[in-house]
């Protein structure tokens, strides 16, 4: 009986688990497959995540490049805008400075120019070179060179006295010789002389503003005309070694103190003519409006004797304008200030190369005479 009980117990112990082994193996197999599938999905997800990170990095790089280009383009536009604004401000400052100088000159304030690089170099060069026998005058526009002027005046006076003595000692002999020479001229010689005079007077040149001899000058002395209350008689330094007499009708427009030491532009090749008994050797250039007249103002860095040229009209001025050809009268209608107050001929500016343009203080689109 004991054996029977033990056998039943063993059967109960071992036969139960053996019966459930297939289900156990099936469960284990299913679990393993699920785990393997989950691992493959994880690898795929990991690969996709890495690919996504790479795409995002590329996109970020492209975005950075686009931002840099946008900033650079915006900077270029801003730079161009600032350059234009600076240029406009420079023009406004130059215009205000020019107007201030004109106002000071009109009120008798003497102008002292700031030394430029060129003037300093010229002074250094002249100091290094040996002194000439007779000093020459190359004054700045608002400066003076009294030593050079006095030396030249003394030399001219001595030369005139010497010439007068020679002429008096020669007496009538020289006059007779001159008369004989004139009488013995051949027709061929007379023809050449007439042709030379025609070329010198510019009769054969183009009818444009290049024929006018326009120069910067300084009024060193001014008085009222003794026989006309509306006229000034001015002594003008044009850098020629002697002063020219200029008669102008500016009494109603400028007081004497506004004329003295004034820098202006002069036409220097008109034929000298007497105005109320005084010989006038040049003409001061002015903008003449219906209500007021303004003297043209050259660039502030100008020097006495500087030549004014007109853009687009190169050429050599006539030695003297032929009054019969009425050259100035023909050109005058096209000589005006433009909308920017710049002296012009048919739209081309009056300039001193490297220094600037000639302007009127306030009058625009106004006749110049």
Tell me the CA distances in angstroms from 50 to 37, 42, 93, one per residue in order.
Answer: 20, 12, 63
Residue that is written with structure tokens 């003595």 in the block? 165
Please report which confidence band the pLDDT of residue 216 belongs to, taking 50, 70 and 90 as the band edges: very high
Please report which confidence band the pLDDT of residue 129 belongs to, taking 50, 70 and 90 as the band edges: low
**In terms of DSSP H, where are the helices of 201-326?**
256-259
Q: Quick: pLDDT tens for 299-310.
A: 999 999 999 999
Nearest one of 119, 338, 312, 149 to 238, comparing CA atoms = 149
Beta carbons within 8 Å of 183's beta carbon, 6+ residues apart: none
Determine the pLDDT at residue 345: 96
Tokens of residue 203, six digits = 């009769």
Tell me the CA distances in angstroms from 305 to 107, 111, 138, 308, 349, one per residue in order.
Answer: 24, 18, 8, 9, 19
Is the CB of residue 105 less than 8 Å from the CB of residue 111? yes
Cα–Cα distance for residue pair 182/176, rounded to 1 Å: 10
Q: Among 29-43, 176-190, 201-215, 283-297, whose mean pLDDT is lowest?
A: 176-190
Residue that is written with structure tokens 């109960």 in the block? 12
Report whether pLDDT(260) > 80.
Answer: yes
Nearest one of 286, 275, 284, 274 to 235, comparing CA atoms = 284
Q: Quick: pLDDT tens for 83-98.
A: 888 888 888 888 787 7
Mean pLDDT for all residues in the chain:
77
Report whether pLDDT(202) > 90.
Answer: no
Report whether pLDDT(162) > 90.
Answer: no
65-87 as b/e, with b when 16 or more CB fall inside 10 Å? Answer: eeeeeeeeeeeeeeeeeeeeeee
Element (H, E) at 278: strand 278-280
Report whether pLDDT(283) > 70.
Answer: yes
**Mean pLDDT to the nearest integer, 103-120:** 61
- Could you give phi then psi for residue 69, rounded to 5 degrees? -65, -40
**Mean pLDDT to the nearest integer, 340-357:** 95
Cα–Cα distance for residue pair 341/365, rounded to 1 Å: 7
Determine the pLDDT at residue 109: 66
- Could you give phi then psi for residue 350, rounded to 5 degrees? -80, 125
Beta strands 348-352 and 343-345 are: antiparallel
Cα–Cα distance for residue pair 347/338, rounded to 1 Å: 7
Please report which confidence band the pLDDT of residue 24 belongs to, taking 50, 70 and 90 as the band edges: low
Nearest one of 215, 246, 213 to 232, comparing CA atoms = 246
Please report which confidence band the pLDDT of residue 249 belongs to, taking 50, 70 and 90 as the band edges: very high
Report whether pLDDT(121) > 90.
Answer: no
Is the CB of residue 289 less than 8 Å from the CB of residue 363? yes
Report whether pLDDT(130) > 70.
Answer: no
For residue 296, with 0-12 CB atoms within 10 Å meaning exposed, 13-18 middle and 19 or more buried, which class applies? buried
Is the CB of residue 285 less than 8 Å from the CB of residue 296? yes
CA neighbours closer than 13 Å in the CB half-sphere of residue 289: 17
Is the CB of residue 209 less than 8 Å from the CB of residue 345? yes
Domain ranges of the chain: 107-369
**Mean pLDDT to the nearest integer, 15-36:** 65
Cα–Cα distance for residue pair 339/98, rounded to 1 Å: 16
Q: Quick: pLDDT tens for 30-79.
A: 777 766 767 777 787 888 888 888 898 888 888 988 888 887 777 777 88
Report whether pLDDT(178) > 70.
Answer: no
CB atoms within 10 A of CB 208: 19
Determine the pLDDT at residue 107: 66
Element (H, E) at 219: strand 214-224
Report whether pLDDT(197) > 50.
Answer: no
Q: Among 53-62, 167-176, 268-277, whose mean pLDDT is lowest?
A: 167-176
CATH class of 107-369: mainly beta
| Residues of the chain above pLDDT 90, percent | 42
Please report which confidence band the pLDDT of residue 104 belongs to, taking 50, 70 and 90 as the band edges: confident
Name the residue with higher pLDDT: 363 or 104.
Answer: 363
């Amino acid at each position: 009986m004991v054996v029977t009980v033990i056998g039943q117990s063993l059967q109960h112990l071992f036969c139960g688990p053996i019966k459930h082994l297939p289900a156990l193996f099936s469960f284990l197999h299913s679990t393993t497959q699920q785990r393997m599938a989950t691992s493959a999905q994880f690898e795929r997800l990991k690969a996709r995540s890495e690919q996504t990170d790479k795409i995002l990095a590329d996109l970020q790089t492209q975005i950075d490049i686009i931002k840099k280009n946008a900033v650079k383009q915006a900077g270029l536009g801003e730079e161009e805008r600032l350059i234009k604004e600076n240029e406009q401000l420079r023009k406004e400052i130059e215009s205000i400075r020019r107007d201030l100088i004109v106002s000071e000159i009109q009120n008798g304030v003497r102008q002292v120019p700031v030394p430029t690089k060129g003037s300093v170099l010229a002074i250094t060069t002249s100091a290094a070179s040996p002194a000439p026998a007779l000093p020459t005058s190359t004054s700045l526009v608002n400066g003076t060179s009294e030593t050079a002027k006095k030396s030249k005046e003394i030399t001219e006076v001595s030369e005139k006295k010497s010439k007068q003595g020679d002429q008096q000692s020669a007496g009538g002999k020289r006059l007779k010789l001159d008369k004989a020479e004139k009488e013995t001229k051949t027709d061929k010689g007379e023809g050449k002389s007439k042709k030379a005079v025609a070329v010198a007077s510019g009769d054969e040149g183009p009818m444009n503003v290049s024929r006018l001899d326009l120069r910067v000058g300084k009024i060193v002395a001014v008085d009222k005309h003794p026989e006309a209350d509306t006229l000034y008689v001015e002594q003008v330094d044009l850098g020629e070694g002697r002063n020219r007499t200029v008669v102008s009708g500016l009494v109603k427009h400028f007081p004497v103190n506004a004329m003295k030491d004034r820098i202006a532009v002069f036409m220097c090749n008109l034929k000298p003519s007497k105005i109320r008994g005084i010989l006038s050797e040049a003409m001061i250039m002015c903008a003449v409006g219906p209500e007021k007249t303004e003297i043209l103002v050259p660039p502030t860095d100008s020097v006495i004797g500087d030549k004014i040229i007109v853009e687009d009209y190169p050429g050599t001025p006539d030695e003297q304008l032929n009054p019969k050809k009425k050259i100035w009268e023909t050109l005058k209608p096209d000589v005006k200030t433009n909308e920017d107050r710049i002296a012009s001929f048919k739209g081309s500016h009056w300039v001193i190369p490297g220094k600037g343009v000639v302007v009127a203080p306030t009058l625009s689109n106004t006749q110049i005479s």
